[in-house]
Structure 1
Amino acid sequence: MSNLEMPVRYIKGVGPGREKILNSMGIFTVFDLLNYFPRDYEDRSKVTPIINIVSGHKVLAAVKYTGRYKVLRPRNGLSITKLYVTDDTGYATLAYFNQDYIIKNFIAGNYYLIYGDAELSFGEIQIKNPDVEPIRKDINHYLCIYPVYSLTKNITQKVMRGIIKEAFLYLDEIYEMLPQELLSKFKLIDVKTAYKNIHYPDSMENLERAKRRLAFQELFEVMLYLNILKLKRETIKKGILFSPCDEDEFVKLLPFKLTNAQIKAWSDIKQDMESERPMNRLLQGDVGSGKTVVAAMAVYKAVKNNYQAAFMVPTEILAEQHYSTLTRLLAGQGIKVGLLISSLSAKEKNNILDKIAKGEIDVVVGTHALIQDNVIYKNLGLVITDEQHRFGVRQRSMLEQKGDNIDVLVMTATPIPRSLALIIYGDLDISIIDELPPGRKPVRTYLVDKGMREQVFNFIETHLKNGEQCYVVAPLIEESDKLDAASAEKIYKELSGKFTGFNVGILHGKMSKEEKDYMMRQFKENKIHVLVSTTVIEVGVDVPNATVIVIENSERFGLAQLHQLRGRIGRGDKESYCFLILGNNNSEVKDRLKILTQTNDGFKIAEHDLKLRGPGDFLGFKQHGMPAFKVASTYLDNDILEDVFKAVRYFIETYGLDTLTATKMVRIIEDKWGFNEEDIALN
């Protein structure tokens, strides 16, 4: 066992009690301790003379205690102890609240280094509850940038700093993951210097260098691992070599012209399908960007090569929609489309299953029913999954196993910034449709104070009388004593009474699958005019007649989620309107949501959302099996990612996949991140 694997109890200053505290913070070994990075820093590298202290700023000052003090008791239970200090330029007071004992820590005539918040109070500079250090050595000994750690009770910053400094004894044992040529090529400091400077930087510039180096390494390790898995898969498995066919003839029969983004995405997919390696491609595009048409072209190519295709979606109503769309797009090509969903009768199911097994159905659209044991494909060559994050990891794998090294196309309408997509889907090739078809009218979006709700619902009534439909989204299903937010049930009752002459429906997560599908079908068929819902409509069906969406307590939703909800309207040729009703309309909330009123571009919104929230929980980041980055979270910019990708390519080209160096690297990465090769590959 290396010293880095030693339990923290062997570090000087850590006894049994502190070991329990550190364990509760997720720190068990010396390595854990060194990787417990500061959440912030205090720049105590420069002393400010009292005369230059600015109110409202943190300050470091070297002062002499005059021996004078006051204890004030302005009201019951509160005491303020004021100590008078001086330097060559003036006088100041140190103010401590409810700490009468603090006087014992000061000796008249002695010098102290103080650090705290300064303010001007009744004409004098006052420093509140400052940290104090007696000056016993040359003052330069004390000047540095101090780390600030996230702590739990019974442990102080001073104790934590001391323990981590003791762990520096073992810095030399930290393994240097990056070859020297990469350090030189990308101007990175070595790993030991990076660890030292992320805890105790000797300048803000060196802190940035340390952060960049460790962020680079985190991204490098994850991307290298995913790329090695991907290349191994491609090396081991030979896919289906689809022959060229007359896709251009198919495109000519479409009742619309493809966008440049669709043409580019299809070019990527076509190239994959005509290569010997199995296609593993993510097709990412905003709501309404035309992903299904591109998927239909892939289906066409597979069928013309005498293979079947399977198209799996998360809900029955969505399966019916895709079935209808594919039937319309492929009808003139002699391609037979089937629908396999749980609600079919036993006779209908058996008929479909028989036709799939005999190859009489070319493409089957369905839910998880497609992966049941009794579904046998004659010659499956292509699997497409839509909104794949709605499936379990192994559900998609089970569908893929219905064929032999089949091509896989994963689709999502959830906009993810390219930087994040390259990490989440690092083992997939990525195509992005970032262009909407011409003629699509952008949804007009407005931020509305809750005092304007009545006017919004009057606006809805006007559109209902014109034969249009509306969604109203609430953050809660039922009323809550703990949360001040609108509930779907309360709004349903309110609107049922308001919109007399119109049918109001309700949809939420506690309803059975059958109830949800029935309600959505009623809405799609315009038998329900106002649908009150929770976020279960986020991935939903096309209802071109729905032109208004109202989202109550919109501040409770993420930007990307609001954009997805907004995507439920604007599906037809009518003007559409989104009202974001604010339960809390402070300036910070308005600033966050304003981006939605400025653009309908999901990728721009996602980039903005990523900057605000970081990638930790961005769109279920952790659900993809990806790690929680410690440093890289704030470094997901294109510059560093571009360098990381270059470094990964260089490493693989230099060391290969099966060398001892690459094998050792993979094992170290698996141990460090807790990766499971099978699960990552399935994702």
Structure 2
Amino acid sequence: MNLDSRLTQLKGIGEKIAVLFEKLGIETIEELLAYYPKDYETYEKPVFVRDIKEEGMVTIRGIVAAPPILRHSGKLQIVTAILQDETGSIQVNWFQMPYLKKTLTLGKTFYFRGKVRTKNGFWAMEQPKLYKEEQYIILEKQCQPKYLLTKGMTDQGMSGWIGQALEEVFLPDYLEEIREKYHLLPYEEAIKNIHFPKNKEILIKARERLVFDEFFLFILAMKKLKTSQRASYHSFPMEEKVEIERFMNCLPYSLTKAQKKVWEDVKKDLLSSFVMNRLIQGDVGSGKTVVAILALLFTSLNGYQGAFMVPTEVLAKQHLESMETLFSNIGIQMKIDLLTGSMTQKEKKQVYDNIKSGKTKIVLGTHALFQEKVVYKNLALVVTDEQHRFGVRQREALSEKGEDPHVLVMSATPIPRTLAIILYGDLHISVIDELPALRLPIKN
């Protein structure tokens, strides 16, 4: 097993589970290990009952002070107990967990961890987890990873598969001399501790190493991209289209001055003789997506294909629905396809055929857009939504699907202009620096 191996080589991952991972844009061991936790759950020291001042998650060490009671409210089964420490007592409730009536032995000590809230002027703890003392002492020293998951997946399962992958694959350190110079963790140690940090201190060091790697590889890849695309001519002559003005006039709101200016920048690039390499920077909600849609519409009206690559299937579907609605509102009929990893082989083949024949004018999707089986008839524009785990390597692979197509990169990351010039090099930079008065029904 190596980093390029498919997830199905891991024990416990069959085709059904693999489909769930594909919704997250994960198909290989490398992609799994690069799917970092969105947050960490820390187990703080227990508090006394008398010290509870506000609602939230707390841990209380105490005894079961009264026999637990099981009662019914319709189909709901509720177990109620009284937790007591040396400073006071608090009511504890569990829902649909009747077996706890036998677990909660009178006088036995537990660590109760759950959310507390006021109920009829008194504090109550809802649905807490129970821990024995020796269990909680171990957890106090750890940070438990929390992942952004799709329905049918759990943090526990994710951690198990990542742990299994770490045992099976070798992670070489390609920055050995550089990391020693900057006192960074070895790569393998950083990956292990971003997923399974022993404490907060080692987690910070793991993040430092991985952030360093992202910037390092990003700058290298951009230099490569710059070298191959510097001032090159393209093969996609375009001209103004009246439908663009009609589209803009039929939007449910007026574009901001910043959006109009950025669209003019993009249109000027598309009408020029040189390949466009432009970065659009703007906060979430600033309206970058509508500019991207204008560029895709302009390209397709000129007889070429456009590809819109995003990090997740959910986002791809949202953009597809929005574009179909907006285009139909002004009577524009064109074939827009979705291509994602979780589609069936039959569905993918149909989209492959549509793209190759030129029937598909705009295609939206995830990393599936640059797989070997995808052959474009005349790809003239690549739009990428620059988000977590969506790097230059993917953008470059998609660009190679066409004859030096135009590239439009969207980023919500606030980057100072001087730093952006260093990072993006020859990419021209446009900034949307104001929010629309009314939000688009499109999610960036």
Q: What's the TM-score once normalised by structure 1's chain length?
A: 0.36
Identity %: 21
Mapped to 2, the partners of 1:10 and 1:161 lie a distance apart of 16
Could you say what secondary structure the match of 1:100 adopts?
coil
Relative contact order: is structure 1 or structure 2 higher (C-alpha 8 Å, sep ≥ 6)? 2
Mapped to 1, the partners of 2:37 and 2:228 lie a distance apart of 37
- Deviations 1:76-132 (CA, angstroms, capped at 9, x unpaired): 444432222233443233222343344344444444333221123345432211233
Partner of 1:174: 171
Q: Pick from 366, 383, 388: which aligns with 1:629?
A: 388
1:629, CA displacement in angstroms? Answer: 1.9
Could you say what secondary structure the match of 2:79 adopts?
strand
- Deviations 1:635-661 (CA, angstroms, capped at 9, x unpaired): xxxxxxxxxxxxxxxxxxxxxxxxxxx
**In structure 2, do the counterparts of structure 1 residues 119 and 160 end up closer, same or farther at CA, with 3 Å as the change threshold?**
same
**In structure 2, do the counterparts of structure 1 residues 56 and 141 end up closer, same or farther at CA, with 3 Å as the change threshold?**
closer
Q: Structure 1: 5+ residue runs without aligned partners?
A: 235-277, 281-309, 320-384, 401-407, 419-482, 489-506, 514-621, 633-668
Matched, 1:510 2:330: yes
**In structure 2, do the counterparts of structure 1 residues 229 and 159 end up closer, same or farther at CA, with 3 Å as the change threshold?**
closer
Mapped to 2, the partners of 1:198 and 1:389 lie a distance apart of 39
Mapped to 2, the partners of 1:279 and 1:147 lie a distance apart of 46
- Deviations 1:204-262 (CA, angstroms, capped at 9, x unpaired): 4543443343344334323321211322556xxxxxxxxxxxxxxxxxxxxxxxxxxxx
Mapped to 1, the partners of 2:176 and 2:81 lie a distance apart of 56
Q: Is the 8 A contact 1:60 1:113 kept in 2?
A: yes
Q: Pick from 214, 218, 221: which aligns with 2:217?
A: 221
Partner of 2:241: 315
Alignment-mate amino acid for residue 181 of structure 1: I
Q: Is the 8 A contact 2:62 2:84 kept in 1?
A: yes
- Deviations 1:592-624 (CA, angstroms, capped at 9, x unpaired): xxxxxxxxxxxxxxxxxxxxxxxxxxxxxx953
Matches within 5 A, 1:488-527: 510-511=330-331
Mapped to 2, the partners of 1:23 and 1:216 lie a distance apart of 27
1:45, CA displacement in angstroms? Answer: 4.2
Partner of 2:114: 116
- Deviations 1:1-29 (CA, angstroms, capped at 9, x unpaired): 52x34444554565776556545554444
Mapped to 1, the partners of 2:195 and 2:172 lie a distance apart of 18
Partner of 1:194: 190
1:30, CA displacement in angstroms? Answer: 3.4
Q: Is the 8 A contact 1:91 1:125 kept in 2?
A: no
1:676, CA displacement in angstroms? Answer: 4.6
Q: Is the 8 A contact 1:314 1:386 kept in 2?
A: no
**In structure 2, do the counterparts of structure 1 residues 512 and 155 end up closer, same or farther at CA, with 3 Å as the change threshold?**
closer
Matched, 1:84 2:10: no
Largest Rg, 1 or 2: 1
Partner of 1:99: 97
1:43, CA displacement in angstroms? Answer: 1.7
Q: Is the 8 A contact 1:54 1:118 kept in 2?
A: no
**In structure 2, do the counterparts of structure 1 residues 673 and 230 end up closer, same or farther at CA, with 3 Å as the change threshold?**
closer
**In structure 2, do the counterparts of structure 1 residues 179 and 631 end up closer, same or farther at CA, with 3 Å as the change threshold?**
farther
Q: Structure 2: 5+ residue runs without aligned partners?
A: 246-261, 284-321, 334-380, 408-444
Partner of 2:32: 33
Matched, 1:165 2:163: yes
Could you say what secondary structure the match of 1:218 adopts?
helix
Q: Is the 8 A contact 1:8 1:14 kept in 2?
A: yes
Mapped to 2, the partners of 1:628 and 1:136 lie a distance apart of 41
Mapped to 2, the partners of 1:117 and 1:151 lie a distance apart of 22
Q: Is the 8 A contact 1:670 1:676 kept in 2?
A: no
Mapped to 2, the partners of 1:177 and 1:136 lie a distance apart of 40
1:279, CA displacement in angstroms? Answer: 7.5
Q: Is the 8 A contact 1:54 1:119 kept in 2?
A: no
Q: Is the 8 A contact 2:57 2:114 kept in 1?
A: yes
Matches within 5 A, 1:470-485: none
1:679, CA displacement in angstroms? Answer: 5.0
1:388, CA displacement in angstroms? Answer: 6.4
Partner of 1:602: none
Q: Is the 8 A contact 1:386 1:411 kept in 2?
A: no
Q: Normalized per residue, which structure has more strand?
A: 2
Quote the RMSD (CA, aligned, Å).
4.7
Partner of 1:60: 59
Partner of 1:147: 145
Mapped to 2, the partners of 1:314 and 1:131 lie a distance apart of 63
Mapped to 1, the partners of 2:16 and 2:237 lie a distance apart of 57
Partner of 1:567: none
Mapped to 2, the partners of 1:183 and 1:121 lie a distance apart of 56
Matched, 1:50 2:46: no
1:182, CA displacement in angstroms? Answer: 5.4
Mapped to 1, the partners of 2:218 and 2:54 lie a distance apart of 46
Matched, 1:184 2:186: no
